[in-house]
Amino acid sequence: MKGDGHDVDINIGTNYSKPKELHWLLRRIFILSWIRSYDREKAVSDLIAGITLGMTIIPQSIAYAALAGLSSEYGLYSAFIGSIIYVFFGTIAQVSIGPTSLMAIMVLQFCSDKPVQFVIVLAFLAGLVEFLMGVLRLGFIVNFIPTPVTKAFTTGTSLIVALAQVKNLLGIKHKGIPTPKQFFDKIEFADATVGIVCMIVLLTLRQLSSIKFKNKTDTTRRLKKVLWYISISRNALVVFTCGLIAFLWIRKSSIEAVPFALSSPVSSGLPKLQLPPFSFTYENRTYAFIDVCRELGSAIVVVPIVAVLANVAIAKAFVKDGQLDASQEMLTLGLCNLAGSFFSAMPTCGAFTRSAVSQASGVRTPMAGIYTGIIVLSALSILTPYFQYIPKSSLSAVLIAAVIFMVDFTPIMTLWRTSKKDFFSWTGCLVVCLVAGVEMGLLYGIVLNMIFVILRLGNPEIEVKLKQCNNITYVHIEPLSDIYFSGVDYLRTELRATAAMYRYDFPIVLDCSRFMLFDATFVDMITSTAKELNDQQVLLILQSLSGKYQPLLQSSSNIHFAINPLTAEDFNVATNQTVIEKLK
């Protein structure tokens, strides 16, 4: 510790060493790291969450496929493949890979008016890029999403989802944003009743798990467990009960008699394994793979980047204590899309809504995806006729109840006091999310914070002191923060100003220990400054310049390499020289 002279480095022998790690490739199959500790309790939690998620993902997949301009089976294929692959490679229990509004909008933007084969090839190429990003360990980009941005993204996305679902909850059939009058005029009584009752039931059941008993007997302990099960399966229970009521109602009278809106019918048929359509013929035109790539253009890069960014932000919102292996998540997302393209799937990524529902349903491991996958597969085959009985407003109630607890406005108070930068990160990101979409909000947050770093890097702290060494007075210039190429000009100005201020009377010692990523910009600054100072008969001494960079300067003349550490004798060389400590 500073000022404490008793500090000593000690060698404690080989008792402590880093634990041996599995082979890199084996570690990629992430299921191996948790499957051995998988027990019945986790299995039950995952089963409940998986089934709940299955009932959420089916209507979502149909809706997002429609939004992308595709028929419903493409959405369901994607949901199935995403859920299954994630079990083996995914790291975060709450993440569910499948169709999302973001990917649907991207597909619409890049593939509208094009045959469906383009969408599948896009899934393949996006998957390839995501996979490569994972292999190249680009997961570090997650570090560039600061905490306030993650929080604002979470709140913003939750608000968007909740607001979007209010219309379905109340049975309002209105395209675009309704005026308050339209809003109240168009509320359907039956839908609103179902929706609001579902909401009340969900919020009540949510409280069950936090009931406390005075006496702790075996009975109360068992009762507590039952209440906990009911609480976490509340989403599934509500949807199932509503579906059953609708089913019985229809059997008693007819489908027209049901006063509230039901889900869209599911088209049946299992996904087939086949190569992605790399080349195909459509409307008498033959497309080669290269044609498809050319027409997709920037989509091949934009789609995976947006998917990875959204996925990583969602993962960061749900992961505990920041233990996020983002490269593994990229790899997994890539595999989901690559595998998906062999089953005619559209591009996929994680969805915030599904993660919130999983979380609210007590998910424990990615194993839940197995059950979700089975439900989706059943929906595509045997359960096809039954899924249309689920009332739309009951599903909206589930989504709203899941996301509403993720809305958190408390940062607005604390961040203003603690850091203006963080305050503007948070509020700006939230506003941009709400106004221009979540991907733009994320981008805003990342760019804003990068700008602050850039500003800081362009203005390094530099300490200038007059020092003496064996009665030789010299100017000591020492950067106090790391200098990258962007700080070089500032340092050059400081050097020049300092030399002029002391009227070129003293030798100048520049401490180079904080030079980072030493490159041509540094070399250029050092040689031009050395030349200027040499012209003024000022001795320039470069101190602590890493040995590996010294050869880059050897081409310049007037450079004298001295032994390390420098001594008073080094100040006695000709003043039209630059001295560099020889070895670090």
Instruction: Considering only residues 121 through 150, tell me which ones interact with its own copies, judged by CB under 8 A.
Output: 140, 142-144, 146-148
**What are 400's two structure tokens?**
């709203």
* Residue 425 neighbours by CB under 8 Å, 6+ apart: 146, 148, 149, 152, 445, 448, 449
CB of 14 to its own copies, least distance (A): 12
**What are 111's two structure tokens?**
């593939």
Q: Is 524 in the site for its own copies (CB under 8 A)?
A: yes
| Alpha carbon distance 261, 492 (integer Å) | 71
| Alpha carbon distance 551, 382 (integer Å) | 73
Q: Is 486 in the site for its own copies (CB under 8 A)?
A: yes
Stretch that binds its own copies, among 156-164, 213-221, 294-302, 515-523 (CB under 8 A): 515-523
If the CB atoms of residues 191 and 511 are measured against its own copies, the closer one turns out to be 511
330, amino acid identity = M
Q: How far apart are the first and last CA of the chain?
A: 25
Compute how many other C-beta atoms are within 10 angstroms of the C-beta atom of residue 313: 24
Residue 479, CB half-sphere, CA atoms under 13 Å: how many? Answer: 28
Stretch that binds its own copies, among 38-46, 263-271, 401-409, 467-475 (CB under 8 A): 467-475
Q: Classify residue 183 by burial, with Cβ atoms within 10 Å: 0-12, 13-18, 19+.
A: middle
For the segment 533-572, give every residue that binds its own copies (CB under 8 A): 543-544, 552, 555, 564-568
Q: Is 180 in the site for its own copies (CB under 8 A)?
A: no
Question: Which residue from 33, 241, 481, 546 is in contact with its own copies, where contact means CB under 8 A?
Answer: 481
Question: Which residue from 193, 427, 521, 556 is in contact with its own copies, where contact means CB under 8 A?
Answer: 521
Please, which contacts does 63-66 make with residues 24 or more away whose CB atoms are closer than 8 Å?
63/264, 64/99, 64/100, 64/101, 64/103, 64/104, 65/99, 65/104, 65/346
CB 508 within 8 A of CB 539: yes
If the CB atoms of residues 164 and 412 are measured against its own copies, the closer one turns out to be 412
If the CB atoms of residues 501 and 574 are measured against its own copies, the closer one turns out to be 501
* CA nearest neighbour of 509 among 490, 493, 523, 530: 530
Stretch that binds its own copies, among 221-229, 283-291, 293-301, 453-461 (CB under 8 A): 453-461
CB of 583 to its own copies, least distance (A): 12
| Alpha carbon distance 96, 47 (integer Å) | 14
**What are 322's two structure tokens?**
């920041």
* CA nearest neighbour of 69 among 36, 116, 102, 117: 116
Stretch that binds its own copies, among 154-162, 183-191, 231-239, 419-427 (CB under 8 A): 419-427
CB of 304 to its own copies, least distance (A): 17
| Alpha carbon distance 125, 290 (integer Å) | 12
For the segment 275-294, give every residue that binds its own copies (CB under 8 A): none
If the CB atoms of residues 73 and 422 are measured against its own copies, the closer one turns out to be 422
Stretch that binds its own copies, among 39-47, 356-364, 437-445, 491-499 (CB under 8 A): 491-499
CB 519 within 8 A of CB 485: yes
Q: Is 32 in the site for its own copies (CB under 8 A)?
A: no
Q: Is 319 in the site for its own copies (CB under 8 A)?
A: no
Stretch that binds its own copies, among 70-78, 155-163, 298-306, 480-488 (CB under 8 A): 480-488
Stretch that binds its own copies, among 48-56, 70-78, 336-344, 463-471 (CB under 8 A): 463-471
254, amino acid identity = S
CB of 561 to its own copies, least distance (A): 15
List, in sequence order, every residue forming a beta bridge with 282; answer none if it has no partner. Answer: 285
Question: Which residue from 206, 469, 560, 573 is in contact with its own copies, where contact means CB under 8 A?
Answer: 469
CB of 577 to its own copies, least distance (A): 17
CB of 13 to its own copies, least distance (A): 10
Torsion sign across C-alpha atoms 184, 189, 195, 199: positive
For the segment 356-375, give every residue that binds its own copies (CB under 8 A): none
Q: Is 21 in the site for its own copies (CB under 8 A)?
A: no
Question: Which residue from 120, 509, 512, 533 is in contact with its own copies, where contact means CB under 8 A?
Answer: 509
Q: Is 301 in the site for its own copies (CB under 8 A)?
A: no
